[in-house]
Structure 1
Amino acid sequence: MAIPFFNPDEVILEYKNNLKAYDLFEKILRANIEKVVAQIVEDGKIAKDSYEIKSRVKTPESLKGKITREDKIYVYKYPLREITDLVGAKVMLISLNDEEIVFDALEKHFKNYIDYKNSPDKTKELWEQRKFGYSGRHLVLWYSDDMLNGLSNELKKEAKNYDLSEFRAEIQIKTLLQHVWAEIEHKVRYKAQEFLSTHRKRAFDRLAALTELTDSLFKDLINKEEEFFNTLNQALNEVSPELTTHPQEKQMDDETKKEQIKQNADAKLKNIEISSEAIKIYVANEFIKDCFKRLQSEHLIITYDEEPNTVNFKLIEALYLVGINDINSLHKLLSDERVIKVLHAYAQKESQKIENKLMLQKLSVLQILIYAYADLNQKETIKKKHLLYENICSAIDELQKDM
């Protein structure tokens, strides 16, 4: 029988004696990752709540289990120098798009310290082998004092007490789906140290394929949403009357050109159906904010710069009920003098009750305009289904009796 190159107990003892140094490296590594990702968020490349960072130092128990496994004990000569994930971090993202952005940023930030030999691109390997399985991107890094740049004085002071020059760490950048798959595969396929039957291997491969397909479809969905966002905003901006003439079109009359562009924009808006996401984009558009601003009166203040977190499905149902099922129709509602008159009358009446100006959010303004726009049958249905606030409905019913 072959003899191991090392004594596991001696390795674990040495590791325990250096745990404070590994803990320090983990803090330095995490601080660097957090700094990079925070900058990405600040630049608007990924959303604030779209990621999670985890980091850890391998426990002595976990290390002992790894180096004493039958498939490892005869492989390592100097485990503490050869194992690259004694310090590890994971950055988990919602989408493949975010994964690519974060990986590129971290690779650029750590470019001078990357151990490329031990930093496999699992995704690229699977594609080249035409296989399915764990995909994700790993970066193995050597420690460098340069990692202390921009960090707290406390960490810099602590780092002077240790020699970290031979330390390495592994960062895994993956989607949440890839993370879940890796956890399942690791615990069932590897931790159990079992030889899986052909049937179970095939089941794993099928699950891996579904995971990859789901990530890919989610990436397509996000790309479609970004395309939708850009298309809607472009159309809304073209509706704006404050348009300038392009140099090559100076021969066209300004008013004629504006009207032509507006007609094209109207056609685009007709093709965008009402949805929660569409309304959120609509009310956040700078031109539309200005439209809400112009709806203000001596009795009414509209918080036109405040964006809603969600758009309730009841508002969407109410819009469809009154026949407003595309963004163009919704936009026309904001310039309908008949319903605007009701809005201002409602604001005047309510402001008298509170002895101050009435303050409304944009979605509340839309609720009033929708109900004022509805016919009698539609109003009854709105009230029966409780699609809008009952007190608003009642107040507008009273006002419209006298109009």
Structure 2
Amino acid sequence: MDDKQQEFLERWERERETYRAWGEFVCQRIIGLLGEVLPEEGAGLFLRIPAKPRVKETPSMLQKAFLRKRYSNPYESVEDKVGVRFVVLLNEDVRTIGSVIEGATQYWTATKARDFEAEREENPSVFDYQSVHYVVRANPGLGVGHSTFIDDMPCEIQVRTLLQHAYSELTHDTIYKPTVSATPEMKRAAAKSMALIEATDDYFSQVVGVIKTAIGNAEYVERTLATVYQEITGKIVASTPLNKLLIDHYKPWAGADFDQQLQDWLKKKPYIAELLSGSELDIVFEIPAVLLVLFAISMTPDKAKENSPLADDELEPLYSILGLGFNSV
């Protein structure tokens, strides 16, 4: 080992634990910031694999600094002394984390070292290794507790989808960091796999979009029903499985302006509010979704009973309230 390598190694031994702490800091700050932009699900469900910092092994770092790259300033040039990987479900989730990383200017400066979407636009016919890589560098004077980080110290951040991560685990050490020569057949198989991953991600995004639209509609209906029910009864009720079941079945009767439709309908039938405000009601009257069931019966009494989650003997009183005969429609 020559003097330059020995100096590199001694400095690394002095600073290793500081880099480890820096990686922990970066990881926890990103998770915390994700929790702020994802208030409902939090980062715990958003991240598909637990994120934890990884300090580069000394032999690997020495080989990169002095053999593989031959940097003029080896120690400063190795930017992945510590790194952390975030694995999410979809490409749009990759962009969410990217926004968090780029926006955390109070902690670091961030540069995008690799962007697979930009590479795909530049070479649209090439299907290759995909991942977004950032390097964040500590702001001057930044620290935690009684410790101060080294100014401008780097941390590499990789952001991948779950499919990209699976592909990387399968191929990266052989195709992109070869311990054996990658054959044309291997490269072709890897490219076909990446093409399939891109197509699958597109399909997943379509499915998620449809699900979000459906969930959004159901949540809108549920909020409307809960608000109106509380206004007319004074009762604050929690959502229940039966409430959700009835909403899921009867939500086709709720239009885009259901809140206004419901208010207008109740004005025409004030006795419903009086009925629901009473005490000792049957259990079905104690959930906000009963408003939607009554609304559906009022609109289309014949269709409202088809495949209903409520049994005939549970539906019949609701028809009677509206002056309708259950068996005559």
Q: TM-score, normalised by structure 1?
A: 0.57
Q: Is 1:169 matched with 2:155? A: yes
Instruction: Report if aligned partners of 2:30, 2:101 keep a CA contact under 8 Å in 1.
Output: yes
Superposition pairs for residues 141-220 of structure 1, below 5 Å? 141-148=136-143, 155-159=144-148, 164-165=150-151, 167-186=153-172, 189-190=175-176, 193-216=179-202
- What does residue 365 of structure 1 align with? 291
Map of 2:84 onto structure 1: 89
Change in CA separation of 1:128 and 1:401 when aligned onto 2, cut-off 3 Å: closer
Distance change >3 Å, CA 105–CA 370, structure 1 → 2: same
**Partner of residue 318, structure 2:** 396
Call closer, same or farther: CA 1:86–1:14 in 2, change over 3 Å. Answer: same
**Identity score, percent:** 13
In structure 2, what is the Cα distance between the partners aligned to 1:190 and 1:224? 36
Q: CA–CA distance in 2 between the matches of 1:184 and 1:168?
A: 28
Given the alignment, which residue of 80, 102, 127 partners 1:132?
Answer: 127
Secondary structure of the corresponding residue to residue 51 of structure 2:
strand
Provide the C-alpha distance between the structure 1 equivalents of 2:312 and 2:120, rounded to a whole number of angstroms. Answer: 58
Unaligned stretches of 5+ residues in structure 2: none
Return the alpha-carbon distance in structure 2 between the equivalents of residues 372 and 90 of structure 1.
Answer: 55
In structure 2, relative to structure 1, the CA distance for the partners of 1:143 and 1:382 (3 Å cut) is closer
Quote the Cα distance in structure 1 between the aligned partners of 2:251 and 2:230: 22
Q: Which residue in the other structure is 1:55 paired with?
A: 52
Q: Which amino acid aligns with 2:280?
A: Q
One-letter amino acid of the counterpart of residue 192, structure 2? R
- Compared with structure 1, are the counterparts of its residues 105 and 348 closer, same or farther at alpha carbon in structure 2 (3 Å cutoff)? closer
Write the distance in 1 (CA, Å) between the matches of 2:240 and 2:223. Answer: 9
| Alignment gaps of 5+ in structure 1 | 149-154, 229-274
Deviations 1:105-152 (A, max 9, x none): 423534996585x8233332342233222333322233343433xxxx
8 Å Cα contact 2:136/2:156 also seen in 1 = yes
Aligned to 2:98: 103
Q: RMSD value over aligned CA atoms?
A: 5.0
AA aligned to 2:171 is E
CA offset at residue 5 of structure 1?
Answer: 6.8
Distance 1:91 1:74 in 2: 26
Query: Compared with structure 1, are the counterparts of its residues 13 and 340 closer, same or farther at alpha carbon in structure 2 (3 Å cutoff)?
Result: farther
Contact 1:178-1:211 at 8 Å conserved across structures:
yes
Does residue 1:64 correspond to 2:59, yes or no? yes
Q: Which residue of 2 aligns with 1:122?
A: 116
Cα separation, partners in 2 of 1:190 and 1:134, compared to 1, 3 Å: closer
Structure 2 residue identity aligned to 1:183: E
How far 1:293 moved relative to its partner? 5.4
Give the residue type in structure 1 aligned to 2:131: G
Distance 2:195 2:79 in 1: 28
Q: Deviations over 1:142-178 (max 9, x none)?
A: 3343433xxxxxx23033xxx7347421122344443
Q: Distance in 1 between matches of 2:3 and 2:60?
A: 14
Q: State the partner residue of 1:24.
A: 21
| Contact 2:82-2:156 within 8 A present in 1 as well | yes
Query: Which residue of structure 2 aligns with residue 254 of structure 1?
Result: none
- TM-score, normalised to structure 2, is 0.67
Q: Look up the match of 1:238.
A: none
* Aligned equivalent of 1:301: 234
State the AA in 1 paired with 2:20: D
2: CA distance, partners of 1:284 / 1:337? 17
Residue 239 of structure 1 aligns with which residue?
none
**Offset, 1:23:** 1.9
C-alpha contact 1:114 1:142 (8 A) present in aligned 2: yes
Amino acid at match of 1:202: R
Q: What is the one-letter code of the residue matched to 1:352?
A: E
Query: Match of 1:206, SS?
Result: helix
Letter in 2 for 1:280: E
What letter is aligned with 1:140? V
Q: How far apart are residue 327 of structure 1 and its match?
A: 4.7
Shift of 1:220: 6.6
The Cα shift of 1:65 comes to: 5.1
